[in-house]
Structure 1
Amino acid sequence: MSKQKWLWGIIVLLLVVSSTGIMMRWNAEQSNDSYEIVIPYDEIQTVDKNSDLTMDEILSSLKEAGLTTVSLEPLTLKEMEKQNLITVYKENDLAAQLLFTPYKDAVDVTKSGSYIRVPENTDYQKLIKDSVEPEEVQIGEEAFYFLPTSNHNFDLKTPIGYDQPAIDMISKHGLGYVFKVANADNELANNKLVNQLLALKDGSSGRLLGQGDEAIGFGQKKGNQLVEKLSDAGYYFYTIESNPLKGESKIAQITDYNMIRLHSININRQTKLKLNESIDRTTRAVKERNIRSIFYHIKTTGNAKENMEQTIDYLNGVHDAMPDHFQPGEPKLFDKVAVPAWVKAAVLLAGILFTFSVSELIKWMPLRIAAAGFMTVLAIAYFILKSTLFLQAFALIIAVLAPTYAVIKSAQGSTKMSKILVQYLKAVAISLIGIVIVIGLLNGNAFMTGFATFKGVKLVYLIPIMGVLLFTLIEMNRLADQNIKKSLSNTVTLLNKELKYWHVLLLIVVAGIGLFYISRTGNSGSVSDLELAFRQWLENTLYVRPRTKEFLIGFPFFVLALYVMGINRKWGSILLVPGVIGFLSIVNTFTHLHIPVAVSVLRTLYSVSLGFVIGLVFILIFKFGYRWVSKAIARWS
């Protein structure tokens, strides 16, 4: 057995031994099987106010349809006035109303502030007194709370606490509730809000969702202490997908990444979002992105009763479409994924050896040793400095090298299907080794919840293509083992060669693939309605859809490239350029670390299988086209 095979054997052995880390993540993801749908209480109130339905009827209908949770915003005096829970007067306005009464001098207009008529409900009285600590004023038979303008800690828009009657109403219908928390302008207001949350804590109300642009305590000296108090009391926080709050990453660190991922569906903003699209988006978020909370907004324009019916259709549709192994209920935190240091060390060693093996393409030992040495430095720096940045850099290099090496190393052309299959599986295996190294390193709750990420996705899309393109140019120009002068001579000779029709056809196909690939890379690419329908059909049929650029472009063209190289190695190597797309794409699939490993494995299995079958179809088409073009050229000549 050659030294290179022994090296690969050691790499595989190290990855097998260190697989406990990946299995911990797998188990944590598979056991997290509860999801919730949250609707804000103020939007439910809108239906109550604008229809003949009572709050009891609305909550009962929503619960029956599958609603699990209601969110509650902290009240402000302004919001309480809007809901007719209190009446607020400015000092001049109240004085004007009392001008022709026996109490015309009861209001001191020289003291600027707001007079709040004492509400009848004792819960609201307690809320205002405990939070704002107003002066109590009696004017005739009416009692008022006075909030002076000089009180800089509270004004009419400062969050003061939560609506206890609303909490009682929600609990009465067996629904859970989430407290939305805003970051007040001052520490006193935040402290009082936290104290009320601690008093309200029970087994069903331990969840907090940030409101506005800042997480609670952000920018304040004792902000971390507030978070620690809430966490110690049993509260945990949500993180909104693609909409992080300022200071939220600090909360994640303090709470050891005990966070729930939430996805928001707001049909008031996304007016073109149809009901079935909302349902599909919800099920996809839960099963494919480790999201366990969906925040759904009731439509607030138009007929309130019809909006309610649409919401019920959405809830029923979600629970019907959701895979059976997910159950509606209170979302769970991920089990702790604490990867031992020796596991990380084994994966890093595998990565160092992988880099040395891959660098055989260079065929210059000093450079190979330097490459492995650089990776060793990154590994040592990680253990000394405890910085994830070194792991991310290490993983990026592996993610770039794996697909590049997989394609180049397996580029052994043949017209025999058995040999093509062997080389295809070889390329897949090399890519998978790189993938296992990447996800073995970037493992843990920080990555699963999306606070730590893989860095350099664009480079994974670009560098392997450039590497394979360079390999293709070397093949085309016969640069291997030749000096620069001869290389230039070969290039001139190539440009002077007679161009054949099938050369042009091949170049047009490759250029078309390249343009299509560039237009579809990232989130901004356009997708036709027909393709959207095809994607959804694939997802409904296969549970998770394989990526189009893998099973329809990358893998089939790699299979075709191997076949064409068996006929003409130079021109077949051109097809390796679109062929590498499949391999870099599966690496990229696994670098989306918030996606469950099981989903990525299934998606890749589909892509690899379908890609090979479609590649065989490409070969048949090529054979037919090649014969037709050859006969046509013979006829024309």
Structure 2
Amino acid sequence: MKGTYMKWNQRSLKWLWWLVILGMLAAIPVAFERNETEQKTGRKVEFVFDYRNLLEISDLQTDPRKFVLEQLDEMKQHGIQSMAVYEATLNELKLSRRIELFTSHEASALTQTPISPNENFTYLLFAEKESEQQLQPMIQQAFAELNVKTRAWSYKNQPGMIIEMSMEDALLKTMDPDPITMQLLKEKGYTIVIRLSNRRAFDEARMDELLGRLQALGVKRMIIDGETVPGFVSDKDLHNLESMAELMKKHQIGLASTEALYQKTPPRGFNTISKKIDYNVVRLHPLTESDSQKLTENITPQELKGRIQDYADRFLLAVKDRNIRMIFLHAKAVKSTDKGKIVHPLDSIYLTLKGPDGVIPQIHKIGYQTGPATAFVPVHSGWQPVAKTLLSIGAIALIALTISYFVPELALAVFLLGLVGSAGMYVWNNSLFSQALALCAGTCAPTLAMMIAIRTARNKLNRKDGKRWLFAAILLLRTSLLSLIGALFIVGLLNQITYSLVLEQFRGVGILHAAPIALAVLYWLLFSDETAYRDKVRRIQGFLHANIRVLWVIVAVVVAAAGYYYISRTGNEGQASSFERYFRSFLENTLGVRPRTKEFLISHPLFLLGAYLCYKYRSALLLVLIGVIGQASVVDTFAHLHTPLVISSIRVVYGLAFGLLIGAVLIVLWEIIARSWQRWVPRLSE
């Protein structure tokens, strides 16, 4: 029985490779359709300004209404096509100069009439007839829904009303968006992006009527204001959420999803409603109020120019590298004691958009248009389920092949058990199955590539034949191509619009970085030379019983610190120094797509140098081993599923090209130093 299994196990190694190749071939058309989705749909970028912020800035000007109208014209000229309008509050209506508000004490002083000491109401006066006609019914309805009484009031023939609620409380209540503001913005040629909250009790008929009016005004996109989407009750009670989704589809209104870096968790119910509206969602990148305040600080003109350029580069990178289609601009006026006046960042924001190196001309150059953002329309043929089945089988085969380099006898057993286990996981949780298989394949591909590279480089020791330059370059390219097998499996298995929109995230980036390094080191220490298992056990015992020296401790601490820094830099949360940010910006602006530093500047050149030296030095394998960092990074580049495939591909090609060049420089320097050493050291000894 054992002999039969070992015979079939040996034969299976060949067929496992063919299954991996079949999976790769299945991934190519899937990747092509994803590229079609990214390149041919959703190519418009929308610049949206927060209208409430504009009102807040105008409140500090001598003529607020004139300031608003002037800035609306300025924004239009500088490429801002849309305005984000919130649900109205009494405070916002006051900022718009449509109403004036008074507490009971202030109304008593104003009218010179006594008011009951037990009264704490809100007194309101309309600024003009239009405000009274359009806003009074809206305000009465909003407070009637809260069971708050309202009644008429006037002062010197100026109409108003009394709201039987304290001003502090009344200012927090929301109502329908200001119709006068929305009509003004439409007349100015702006697209309105609505911000709706879940602060009012959900009423399907009222919401239907509101969305109908918004549709008539040309509203196509909604930003959620708050921590829950309109209609959300709980994760189990989805009735109102389903009604809200149907109304959004009826009135053709989609959603905007704020980038996770600025909103750690999406509003509750967001993913559910996104699915129900067929993922009519675009990604949003904000310029926050705190960001805008940096443009008002007391700095030199040159420093201000640098910050403006930084924001322009940031917006461009968001559009190009992360499929962002909406830039949401906030601004805040501040009191500058250094300048002795109120300052605002609007002029600097305009330069960010359409200055000498503004973002709008740059995005036009790379093929994007400005206008109302449209969602991706996924290209998804009917054969993709068949392709993903082949991808799944190929991924399991890749895992089995990787394990075979450690324990050859387990290849067939791992493959068969993997098929059975994967079938069960697919039935239990399809999304988890795809992510787990993609993570394992993405980990195994660079590990397998490095194990083959280590074995190949080890076999070159003390050989005189062959061109070392050519061998090193071919080995790096071959190893990178083998690593890219993992990228193909990740792209193929996780080809869902939810990943592009980051409504669902590919977890395990840290594992994808660390596991190939750990496995490659383990292989180098114990499995790279063909020794019996008994000898491997003895080697492990030797490690465990070895006397620990101070130097080893120091080396271990340094390696651990480097490893911690490396892992901390992975993903979107990693922090970079100011010099590194400058260097990144330089590469981005010069090349258009920035290659990864750890690839072209560290791992690829050292891999190349190690492969070149492995003919003479056994320890050169350590340099080859460092190359696993770059191989893991190559796969991780494609694990950023919100980045267009074209950008990821260019990034990898640049990394290899510059890595080869820098590696060649290292080889030349090595040869110069080595030959100089051989020539001059003997003479100095004499």
Common fold: TM-score over 0.5? yes
Q: Structure 1 residue 559 and structure 2 residue 608: aligned?
A: yes
Write out per-residue CA displacement over residues 582-621 of structure 1, whole angstroms, 9 at most, x where no aligned residue: 1100111111111111110111111122212222222223
Question: Which residue matches 1:427?
Answer: 479
Q: Return the alpha-carbon distance in structure 2 between the equivalents of residues 252 and 13 of structure 1.
A: 34
Q: Structure 1 residue 321 and structure 2 residue 366: aligned?
A: no
Would you say the 8 A contact 1:29–1:596 is kept in 2?
yes
Q: Structure 1 residue 41 and structure 2 residue 25: aligned?
A: no
Q: Return the alpha-carbon distance in structure 2 between the equivalents of residues 469 and 156 of structure 1.
A: 63
Q: Structure 1 residue 310 and structure 2 residue 348: aligned?
A: yes
Q: Return the alpha-carbon distance in structure 2 between the equivalents of residues 74 and 6 of structure 1.
A: 63
Residue pairs, 1:475-490, within 5 angstroms: 481-484=533-536, 486-487=538-539
Q: Return the alpha-carbon distance in structure 2 between the equivalents of residues 156 and 396 of structure 1.
A: 50
Would you say the 8 A contact 2:202–2:230 is kept in 1?
no
Amino acid at match of 1:60: D
Q: Return the alpha-carbon distance in structure 2 between the equivalents of residues 574 and 283 of structure 1.
A: 39
Would you say the 8 A contact 1:179–1:207 is kept in 2?
yes
Q: Structure 1 residue 216 and structure 2 residue 230: aligned?
A: yes
Residue pairs, 1:209-248, within 5 angstroms: 209-219=223-233, 221=237, 222-224=239-241, 225-242=243-260, 243=263, 244-248=266-270
Unmatched 5+ residue regions in structure 1?
Answer: none
SS in 2 for 1:451: coil
Moved more, 308-317 or 506-515: 506-515
CA 1:479/1:496 → structure 2, altered by over 3 Å: closer, same or farther? farther
Q: Of 447, 470, 476, which residue of structure 2 is paired with 1:404? A: 447
Write out per-residue CA displacement over residues 311-352 of structure 1, whole angstroms, 9 at most, x where no aligned residue: 221120111222330111111100134463212212112212
Residue pairs, 1:153-232, within 5 angstroms: 155-184=170-199, 186-187=201-202, 192=206, 195-202=209-216, 204-219=218-233, 221=237, 222-224=239-241, 225-232=243-250
CA 1:374/1:585 → structure 2, altered by over 3 Å: closer, same or farther? farther
Q: Structure 1 residue 440 and structure 2 residue 496: aligned?
A: no
Q: Structure 1 residue 285 and structure 2 residue 327: aligned?
A: no
Would you say the 8 A contact 2:49–2:329 is kept in 1?
yes
Q: Return the alpha-carbon distance in structure 2 between the equivalents of residues 371 and 280 of structure 1.
A: 48
Q: Return the alpha-carbon distance in structure 1 between the equivalents of residues 558 and 143 of structure 2.
A: 71
Amino acid at match of 2:404: E
Identity of aligned residues (%): 26
Amino acid at match of 1:86: I
Would you say the 8 A contact 1:266–1:297 is kept in 2?
yes
Amino acid at match of 2:318: A
Q: Return the alpha-carbon distance in structure 2 between the equivalents of residues 617 and 513 of structure 1.
A: 25
Amino acid at match of 2:72: L
Q: Structure 1 residue 380 and structure 2 residue 394: aligned?
A: no
Q: Of 398, 403, 411, which residue of structure 2 is paired with 1:359? A: 403
Moved more, 328-337 or 198-207: 198-207
Q: Return the alpha-carbon distance in structure 2 between the equivalents of residues 167 and 398 of structure 1.
A: 52
Amino acid at match of 2:48: V
Question: Which residue matches 2:328?
Answer: 295
Would you say the 8 A contact 2:26–2:388 is kept in 1?
no
Residue pairs, 1:328-367, within 5 angstroms: 328-338=370-380, 340-365=384-409, 367=410
SS in 2 for 1:264: strand
Q: Return the alpha-carbon distance in structure 2 between the equivalents of residues 476 and 386 of structure 1.
A: 37
Q: Return the alpha-carbon distance in structure 1 between the equivalents of residues 451 and 681 of structure 2.
A: 33
Would you say the 8 A contact 1:396–1:456 is kept in 2?
yes
CA 1:404/1:85 → structure 2, altered by over 3 Å: closer, same or farther? same
Q: Structure 1 residue 250 and structure 2 residue 298: aligned?
A: no
Would you say the 8 A contact 2:471–2:612 is kept in 1?
no
Would you say the 8 A contact 1:337–1:445 is kept in 2?
no
Write out per-residue CA displacement over residues 492-523 of structure 1, whole angstroms, 9 at most, x where no aligned residue: 999899x9xxx9xx999989976874574455
Q: TM-score, normalising length from structure 1?
A: 0.86
Q: Return the alpha-carbon distance in structure 1 between the equivalents of residues 352 and 476 of structure 2.
A: 44
Would you say the 8 A contact 1:183–1:216 is kept in 2?
yes
Q: Return the alpha-carbon distance in structure 1 between the equivalents of residues 214 and 563 of structure 2.
A: 58
Aligned-pair CA distance for 1:268:
3.1
CA 1:63/1:305 → structure 2, altered by over 3 Å: closer, same or farther? farther
CA 1:616/1:79 → structure 2, altered by over 3 Å: closer, same or farther? same
Amino acid at match of 2:287: I
Question: Which residue matches 1:460?
Answer: 512
SS in 2 for 1:218: coil
Question: Which residue matches 1:597?
Answer: 645
SS in 1 for 2:47: strand
Write out per-residue CA displacement over residues 117-152 of structure 1, whole angstroms, 9 at most, x where no aligned residue: 4563222223224433454436796655454459xx
Question: Which residue matches 2:299?
Answer: none
Would you say the 8 A contact 2:16–2:401 is kept in 1?
yes
Aligned-pair CA distance for 1:354:
1.8
Aligned-pair CA distance for 1:54:
3.9
Write out per-residue CA displacement over residues 201-222 of structure 1, whole angstroms, 9 at most, x where no aligned residue: 1373111011233322333654
Q: Return the alpha-carbon distance in structure 2 between the equivalents of residues 204 and 20 of structure 1.
A: 38
Q: TM-score, normalising length from structure 2?
A: 0.81
SS in 1 for 2:345: helix
SS in 2 for 1:19: helix
CA 1:471/1:629 → structure 2, altered by over 3 Å: closer, same or farther? farther
Q: Return the alpha-carbon distance in structure 1 between the equivalents of residues 595 and 54 of structure 2.
A: 39
SS in 2 for 1:201: helix
Q: Return the alpha-carbon distance in structure 2 between the equivalents of residues 259 and 526 of structure 1.
A: 29
Would you say the 8 A contact 2:56–2:95 is kept in 1?
no
Q: Return the alpha-carbon distance in structure 2 between the equivalents of residues 308 and 493 of structure 1.
A: 68
Question: Which residue matches 2:4?
Answer: none
Amino acid at match of 1:34: K
Write out per-residue CA displacement over residues 47-96 of structure 1, whole angstroms, 9 at most, x where no aligned residue: 54526654333222211111111111111123323444224455676577
Q: Return the alpha-carbon distance in structure 1 between the equivalents of residues 536 and 35 of structure 2.
A: 51
CA 1:314/1:267 → structure 2, altered by over 3 Å: closer, same or farther? farther
CA 1:51/1:358 → structure 2, altered by over 3 Å: closer, same or farther? farther
Aligned-pair CA distance for 1:361:
0.2
Q: Return the alpha-carbon distance in structure 1 between the equivalents of residues 469 and 565 of structure 2.
A: 28
Write out per-residue CA displacement over residues 418-454 of structure 1, whole angstroms, 9 at most, x where no aligned residue: 2223322221121111110111011111111001111
Aligned-pair CA distance for 1:578:
1.8
Amino acid at match of 2:658: L
CA 1:554/1:426 → structure 2, altered by over 3 Å: closer, same or farther? same
CA 1:373/1:452 → structure 2, altered by over 3 Å: closer, same or farther? farther
Write out per-residue CA displacement over residues 382-409 of structure 1, whole angstroms, 9 at most, x where no aligned residue: 5423530111111111111111111111
Residue pairs, 1:534-545, within 5 angstroms: 534-545=583-594
Would you say the 8 A contact 1:38–1:69 is kept in 2?
yes
Amino acid at match of 2:221: R
Q: Return the alpha-carbon distance in structure 1 between the equivalents of residues 538 and 670 of structure 2.
A: 34
Unmatched 5+ residue regions in structure 2?
Answer: 1-10, 296-306, 461-466
Write out per-residue CA displacement over residues 251-308 of structure 1, whole angstroms, 9 at most, x where no aligned residue: 2232232211000112534644711110000000000000001112234225678633
Amino acid at match of 1:350: G
Amino acid at match of 2:279: Y
Q: How many residues were matched structurally?
A: 622
Would you say the 8 A contact 2:57–2:344 is kept in 1?
no
CA 1:456/1:132 → structure 2, altered by over 3 Å: closer, same or farther? same
RMSD: 3.8
Q: Return the alpha-carbon distance in structure 2 between the equivalents of residues 514 and 618 of structure 1.
A: 24
